[in-house]
Chains A and B, each alone.
Chain A
């Protein structure tokens, strides 16, 4: 095994790319869960975003419109979940699973004619002399624009939840929908908006996979990324900044195991490929040990709201 073939600069730069899809998806899900809704359909919305984003980018010829279409597709899927759980009061866990199963089927149906096609990847942002700095230039100033969009979104979400009135209402709805309702807030409307936002973020994350990271469409390409995003929200104790840390940690593990595979490590390939999932389980255990069940979770997470009851 030749560990010197792994360059730390490239490792860090590529971990940011690897982390961006789950960062986006997890950020969306965080807002949804803050509003008291548990949407387990992240995987389904992500793969729909990956498929629609890719198709739109190929057909229209613009990667940016691809991202826009993916966000829209994710939001539409999420609203399907929203209508079922908020208006028809279906079980959130079951509906989320249904969204994932349906999304996986629909995405492979949509993407049928697009296997093996390539799109032009997003160009890396050139920030002049900044990008030429050793190490820092490659790590901080040499990415495609979506990486910066995701970082900006982390900051925006944090500020929105913490400092704005709308963010406060959203949190109130998540902590106690009965109290929020009694105060005259539209619980269902707030939740539907949050759900649509979560879907759009998941769609963006999926499109980042198919348009930038890979960049190709293959069936089932999310490979559990949506579920890892869900785990990440728990890991982050529902705090945006910690989602960022978690996503980059996770991205680091993914990239490291890929690098170890190519460097010809003596560890079996299958164990390396399974490593991100094993680490996720380990992290979940450590987190739940610390906080016991749902210490930081929004109090009304996953509970259905009906004004009469």
Chain B
């Protein structure tokens, strides 16, 4: 029989190999799913993973890639810091919405002024909005010990209602007759977040995501705060003895993740989305959780994972239009990826041993739970 045996130290090889194995397994399982849906699996895989990069219309899709990857990476980097310390902020979607709302509101207050100072102000307000929204679960956890998982998630639904009310009442475009939705920010020069290099899709959000990756990498490898984060995640008691203040860590991790998610929301609303509308929330905050784990909670890994996940979005859109693959298939596919990743991860900390069943001794110790 096969048994698991704990490794003395986590395997370095498997730490890097397990995402790759998980991706491979997901491709197989996803192929089965696509076949079950009546699509040729090989063709589906080619449409999703190959055509957007090297196909005939790659010039269009490549631009989309960074547009999708930017917010995912920006949010996931923040989340990963918290996850490493055992602080589970799963309400990034809400922080993303509130960031977009605050930033857009701050900008629209100056409409129709034409000064380039407005955009930086909006970025700051967006970050602040996300930060404050994340402070709700942070402060409740510190002050009352309330579970941050549930509170941050509940706030997503509150934020969605806030978004709906903004779109139909307090941020609605006063010049539009009857239509919900704010003024178009991407067409107002002072507030727009344009494509910086034509054809790449890179806007300020992508730049911010890259900066965040570098910042988080330095924080985790060179800074005391990063050490405290890793220590708390690995051994909370040891961290307490080492003088880590848990409250500070909660505020830092949740606050940073909230600010980054808020910025991501702002870059989205001023760029690709263009305006505050009822369907502005697109689930980036939840997909970023997958990205964070796929990237092994490591900033550089998240960069790669974000690009891969963006590819599934872009390729999934292409497959939806070309092959008629339901768009929900892609979210199931993404969920599968996370499952396989978590399953393969066992090999980082354990090794498989094929054991022969030991002959029963008169007073057997309880069989290792199989």
CA A26 to CA B339, docked complex, whole Å: 24
Interface stretch of the complex, out of B172-180, B208-216, B247-255, B285-293: B285-293
CA A308 to CA B5, docked complex, whole Å: 8
Contact with A along B342-358 (1 / 0, CB 8 A): 11011001100000000
Q: Looking across the interface, which residue of chain A has its beta carbon closest to that of B370? A: A188
CB-based contact A108/B328 at 8 Å? yes
Name the interface residues of B171-192: CB closer than 8 Å to any CB of A: none
What does DSSP make chain A's interface, helix, strand, loop or mixed?
helix
Interface stretch of the complex, out of B70-78, B144-152, B194-202, B258-266: B144-152
Contact with B along A93-117 (1 / 0, CB 8 A): 1110111011111101100100000
With both chains docked as a complex, state the minimum distance between the C-beta of B296 and any C-beta of chain A, in angstroms: 12
Q: Which residues of A contact B90 (CB under 8 A)?
A: 97
Pick from B155, B326, B369: contact of A181, CB under 8 Å: B369
Q: Count residues of B near A (Cβ-Cβ below 8 Å).
A: 54
With both chains docked as a complex, state the minimum distance between the C-beta of B188 and any C-beta of chain A, in angstroms: 26
Q: Which residues of B contact A273 (CB under 8 A)?
A: 161
Residue A167, interface by CB 8 Å: no
Interface stretch of the complex, out of A239-247, A258-266, A282-290: A282-290
CA A222 to CA B255, docked complex, whole Å: 29
CB-based contact B369/A305 at 8 Å? yes
Known: A90-B345, A285-B144. Is A98-B369 also a contact (CB below 8 A)? no
Pick from A80, A189, A281: contact of B151, CB under 8 Å: A281
Contact with B along A207-232 (1 / 0, CB 8 A): 00000000000010001100110110
Residue A277, interface by CB 8 Å: yes
CB-based contact A268/B165 at 8 Å? yes
CB-based contact B6/A309 at 8 Å? yes
CB-based contact B150/A280 at 8 Å? yes
Name the interface residues of A262-309: CB closer than 8 Å to any CB of B: 268-271, 273-274, 277-278, 280-281, 284-285, 288-289, 292-293, 305-309
Contact with B along A61-87 (1 / 0, CB 8 A): 000000000000000000010001011
Residue B302, interface by CB 8 Å: no
With both chains docked as a complex, state the minimum distance between the C-beta of A199 and any C-beta of chain B, in angstroms: 15
Q: Which residues of B contact A281 (CB under 8 A)?
A: 136, 140, 146, 150-151, 154-155
CB-based contact B335/A101 at 8 Å? yes
CB-based contact A98/B342 at 8 Å? yes
CB-based contact A308/B339 at 8 Å? no
Known: A80-B339, A308-B368. Is A277-B331 also a contact (CB below 8 A)? no
Residue B15, interface by CB 8 Å: no
Q: Which residues of B contact A87 (CB under 8 A)?
A: 370
CB-based contact A93/B147 at 8 Å? no
Q: Which residues of A contact B155 (CB under 8 A)?
A: 277, 281
Residue B8, interface by CB 8 Å: no
Q: Looking across the interface, which residue of chain A has its beta carbon closest to that of B292? A: A94
Known: A284-B147, A308-B6. Is A89-B338 also a contact (CB below 8 A)? no
Instruction: A274-B158, A277-B158 are known; give 11 further A-B pairs, CB within 8 A.
Output: A88-B342, A88-B343, A102-B338, A109-B328, A109-B331, A181-B366, A188-B370, A234-B147, A280-B150, A281-B146, A307-B366
Residues of A within 8 A of B (CB): 40, 80, 84, 86-91, 93-95, 97-99, 101-106, 108-109, 112, 181-182, 184-189, 219, 223-224, 227-228, 230-231, 234, 268-271, 273-274, 277-278, 280-281, 284-285, 288-289, 292-293, 305-309
Residues of B within 8 A of A (CB): 4-6, 37, 83, 88, 90, 136, 140, 144-147, 149-151, 153-158, 161-162, 164-165, 169, 286-287, 289-290, 293, 326, 328-336, 338-339, 342-343, 345-346, 349-350, 366, 368-370
Q: Give 21 A-B contacts (CB < 8 Å), ordered by A residue.
A: A84-B342, A88-B342, A88-B346, A94-B293, A101-B335, A102-B335, A103-B335, A105-B332, A112-B328, A181-B366, A184-B366, A188-B370, A189-B369, A224-B156, A227-B153, A277-B154, A281-B140, A281-B155, A288-B144, A305-B369, A306-B350
